Amino acid sequence: MGHDGASGVEPGTDGGQKSSVSEDLDLRAINTIRSLSIDMIQAANSGHPGTPLGVAPVAYALWNDVLRYDPADPLWPSRDRFVLSAGHASALLYSLLHLSGVSAVGEQAAEDPRRKHAVTLDDLRTFRQLGSVCPGHPEYGLTSGVETTTGPLGQGLANSVGMALAGRWLAARYDRGAELFGFDVWALAGDGCLMEGIAAEAASLAGHQQLSNLCWIYDRNQITIDGSTDITFTENVPERFASYGWSVVEVADANDLSSVRAALESARAERSKPTLVIVQSHIGFGSPVIDSPKAHGEALGPENVAKTKEALGLPLEDFFVDPRAEEAFAKGLRARGEAEHRAWVESFNAYRAAHPDLAHELESLWAGRLPDGWDADLPAFEASTKGEATRASSSTVLNALSQRIPWLVGGSADLAGSNKTWLNGEGMGTMSPEDPGGRNINYGIREHAAAAVASGLALCGLQSYWATFLIFSDYARPAMRLSALMELPVLHVFTHDSIGVGEDGPTHQPIEHLASLRAMPNLWVFRPADSNEVTEAWKSALSHRHGPSLLALSRQNLPVLDREQYSSASGAARGAYVLAEATGGAPSVLLLATGSEVALALEARSVLEAEGIPTRVVSMPCLELFAEQDGDYRASVLPPEVRARVSIELGAGLGWDRFVGDAGEIVAMTSFGASAPASDLATHFGFTTETVVAAARRSRAIANT
């Protein structure tokens, strides 16, 4: 890890085992963390007291003696990141944030997009209540000092790998000898996190990447909700992590501060690999339910709260804050952080003088903005009946963007050639121990970790993307959901977006995926119809700074529409637009389609118009974006008086009733797919001009009755 010599407070001479304050202050602080945590949970009558009680000494030692962090500026770019992967222990984190005095962000400016609240003593009293900045699980973007949203197990660990990659990448690209970055990333996890598959994927990737700036602290209390870990979790964790290429350090007792500190210092000193610090702890330490699953997920009850305080030698008073606990943080974390931060600001000022362009880039990156002119070179595609696959057009767009957005980084879960997400430009490189500033990431066949790593990169300001087949978005949904909940501008790039996959068959053909992803709040789902809509989709997606976007791209060629004949693709920026107006301008029927089915809609339109039926084709690449348009625009695209409507999409029909209405028809998949050449499947499953035309006739008949 980094920065071990940069501390503003003299480190201990015995391997960092000494406190930066005193043993008395240490104990006061630790027990105050404990008592505040159980008080919060008792006040809410809901929460998880066991982990805060057990692991408080470890969290304290990390924060007060090790963490590079200035509570006065929780957005300091060079800060160490602390991830509470065991998010149910949120009370622990809120106690720490309060006692260490982490400041609010942007409170003066209500519109500050980075606005985050400090945790006051009153906030602790509102734990788990509506509107509290202390919700049940830590929420990024709400509470100052919360680096990522956690709770679903394993996710924070995988985020931390993305953060560590980001720190190393930022240092490689920007440091220029100035040590601006090189921060360390610390994640605290329990047995549950380590059992999850995503943690295994993330650990393997971190080991491969030799992320020496990463430390996972494993709070090993051997108790899960259903009982002792003996009932199902008996693997040899140290051996497992050694197999991933990690350093493993064990601490026999979480209350042995000196050993805890030594372990954390050894993680910081490690220069060639990530470190797992395994700390044996007692869930519910100090309480009558110590070492019991009962300590895990419910308030202790007033009686046991009192007994716990007694056992810890604390006053019974609710929300008691020992002044010496605050003193401990003032003398430890705050003093050190302030000094380190001050030194850093001086460095950065010198850096800005020496590298104004790079400093300007960094200021954009820190603010979550893209660089000026990021969309200056976006390609326009020539009309072509042969066309090209939208995944191929996407490659062209992505590579153009990569030249303009220096911090655009990403890759595929072992499908770079199929997803066409490789950055080919000179010097793009591959992110690795040898080339930490590389722009391409080989995530491996680890979709779940890939999505969470992409969020970790974004949490450190990088514009990240990752890719796989649309079908395998299923492997990554929990992490995608968190990117949506955190409103991160992560790009999820999914190719092979329908039965157009062809021969690989139903295991590889998405059916329910578009509908199921559209159901997720905050996620924008783009399914462009041709190459020029791909350009627009990337542009809209990257412009969307407060939420993730998804691109669903075709494996197969799609015609590049002649925009002299049809409307400009710029209409895609409004989510849906009239692509081909009905002859005469008064449509008798509307054909609504996305992606590969837009060309089919145009073919059906020709047939219908030849029959004298004025037919409008609406391309709908992003339903979420369309929903954000004003009612007039929406009514201009989908006039309420035109009730004859057909939607066409190679996926489940769920959700299309909203657009086609009572008289409408939905051409959709009603079963899983099959293995065959794509053209045979289109016929087999009724995605033909005839089917669409017949549906249009039926809808007209219904609309006219």
List binders of its own copies among 146-185 (CB under 8 A).
149-153
Nearer to its own copies, 129 or 403 (CB): 129
Helix (H, G, I), strand (E, B) or coil at 250: strand
d(CA 318, CA 175): 47
Three-state DSSP string of 174-236: HCCCCCCCCCCEEEEECHHHHHCHHHHHHHHHHHHCCCCCEEEEEEECCEECCEEHHHCCCCC
Q: CB-hemisphere CA count at 13 Å for 607?
A: 17
Q: Considering just the CA atoms, what is the radius of gyration of the chain in Å?
A: 28
Q: Which residue has the tokens 């977006």?
A: 497
Q: Does 505 bind its own copies (CB under 8 A)?
A: yes
Instruction: Supply the minimum distance, in Å, between the C-beta of residue 416 and its own copies.
Output: 5
Check: CB of residue 167 under 8 Å from CB of residue 103: no
Exactly one of 125, 240, 634, 697 binds its own copies (CB under 8 A); that residue is 240
Could you give phi then psi for residue 479, rounded to 5 degrees? -75, -35
Exactly one of 5, 10, 108, 231 binds its own copies (CB under 8 A); that residue is 231
Exactly one of 676, 686, 688, 697 binds its own copies (CB under 8 A); that residue is 676
Instruction: Supply the minimum distance, in Å, between the C-beta of residue 90 and its own copies.
Output: 9
Exactly one of 520, 573, 694, 702 binds its own copies (CB under 8 A); that residue is 520
Token pair of 643, please? 């009730």
Helix (H, G, I), strand (E, B) or coil at 350: helix
d(CA 653, CA 675): 21
Instruction: Supply the minimum distance, in Å, between the C-beta of residue 179 and its own copies.
Output: 28
Paired residues of 493 in beta bridges: 467, 551
Helix (H) or strand (E) holding 525: strand 524-526
**Sign of dihedral through CA atoms 683, 687, 693, 694?**
positive
- Strands 275-280 and 223-224 come out as unpaired
Q: Does 361 bind its own copies (CB under 8 A)?
A: no
**Sign of dihedral through CA atoms 450, 452, 453, 459?**
positive
DSSP class of 332: I
Instruction: Supply the minimum distance, in Å, between the C-beta of residue 417 and its own copies.
Output: 6
Q: Which residue has the tokens 């090790």?
A: 66
Q: Does 684 bind its own copies (CB under 8 A)?
A: yes
Exactly one of 71, 207, 406, 571 binds its own copies (CB under 8 A); that residue is 207
Nearer to its own copies, 12 or 293 (CB): 293
Q: Does 364 bind its own copies (CB under 8 A)?
A: no
Check: CB of residue 546 under 8 Å from CB of residue 570: no
Nearer to its own copies, 404 or 477 (CB): 477
Instruction: Supply the minimum distance, in Å, between the C-beta of residue 460 and its own copies.
Output: 21
Exactly one of 65, 73, 80, 196 binds its own copies (CB under 8 A); that residue is 196
* Number of residues engaging its own copies in binding (CB under 8 A): 108
Stretch that binds its own copies, among 178-186, 203-211, 264-272, 386-394 (CB under 8 A): 203-211
Nearer to its own copies, 183 or 244 (CB): 244
Considering only residues 251 to 310 of the shown chain, the ones binding its own copies according to CB under 8 A are 293
Token pair of 579, please? 């692509």
Q: Does 140 bind its own copies (CB under 8 A)?
A: no
Exactly one of 23, 112, 122, 232 binds its own copies (CB under 8 A); that residue is 232
Q: Which residue has the tokens 């005469």?
A: 584
Nearer to its own copies, 108 or 705 (CB): 705
Exactly one of 110, 130, 353, 610 binds its own copies (CB under 8 A); that residue is 130
Instruction: Supply the minimum distance, in Å, between the C-beta of residue 653 and its own copies.
Output: 9
Q: Does 132 bind its own copies (CB under 8 A)?
A: yes
Instruction: Supply the minimum distance, in Å, between the C-beta of residue 10 and its own copies.
Output: 39
Instruction: Supply the minimum distance, in Å, between the C-beta of residue 150 and its own copies.
Output: 7
d(CA 383, CA 386): 9
Considering only residues 389 to 408 of the shown chain, the ones binding its own copies according to CB under 8 A are none
**Sign of dihedral through CA atoms 7, 11, 17, 23?**
negative
Residues 6 or more apart from 581 whose CB is under 8 A from it? 567, 587, 616
Nearer to its own copies, 47 or 489 (CB): 47
Q: Does 702 bind its own copies (CB under 8 A)?
A: no
Check: CB of residue 336 under 8 Å from CB of residue 8: yes
d(CA 123, CA 119): 6
Exactly one of 264, 517, 541, 592 binds its own copies (CB under 8 A); that residue is 517
Considering only residues 444 to 503 of the shown chain, the ones binding its own copies according to CB under 8 A are 444-446, 448-449, 471-472, 474-475, 477-478, 481-482, 484-485, 502-503
User: Is residue 426 annotated as a catalytic residue, yes or no?
Assistant: no
d(CA 232, CA 230): 6
Nearer to its own copies, 48 or 341 (CB): 48
Stretch that binds its own copies, among 249-257, 441-449, 595-603, 697-705 (CB under 8 A): 441-449
Nearer to its own copies, 178 or 203 (CB): 203
Query: CA-CA distances (angstroms) from residue 627 to 165, 543, 574, 658, 659?
Result: 36, 17, 9, 11, 11
Nearer to its own copies, 199 or 625 (CB): 199
Exactly one of 8, 106, 141, 245 binds its own copies (CB under 8 A); that residue is 245
Q: Does 420 bind its own copies (CB under 8 A)?
A: no
Exactly one of 120, 222, 403, 522 binds its own copies (CB under 8 A); that residue is 522
Residues 6 or more apart from 110 whose CB is under 8 A from it? none
Helix (H, G, I), strand (E, B) or coil at 584: coil
d(CA 125, CA 420): 51
Q: Does 675 bind its own copies (CB under 8 A)?
A: yes
Nearer to its own copies, 500 or 661 (CB): 661
Nearer to its own copies, 257 or 553 (CB): 553
Q: Does 687 bind its own copies (CB under 8 A)?
A: no
Q: Does 544 bind its own copies (CB under 8 A)?
A: no
Considering only residues 76 to 105 of the shown chain, the ones binding its own copies according to CB under 8 A are 87
Could you give phi then psi for residue 648, rounded to 5 degrees? -135, 115
Considering only residues 615 to 674 of the shown chain, the ones binding its own copies according to CB under 8 A are 652, 654-655, 657-658, 661-662, 669-672, 674
CB crowding 52-91: b at 16 or more within 10 Å, else e: bbbbbbbbbbbbbbbbbbbbebbebbbbbbbbbbbbbbbb
Which residue in 447, 487, 536, 649 is the catalytic one? 447
Tell me how many degrees the CA angle 189-191-195 measures, rounded to the nearest 5. Answer: 105
Stretch that binds its own copies, among 238-246, 340-348, 381-389, 549-557 (CB under 8 A): 238-246
The contact mask relative to its own copies for 15-54 (x = CB under 8 A, - = no) is -----------------------------x-xx-------
**Sign of dihedral through CA atoms 17, 23, 27, 28?**
negative
Active site residues: 447
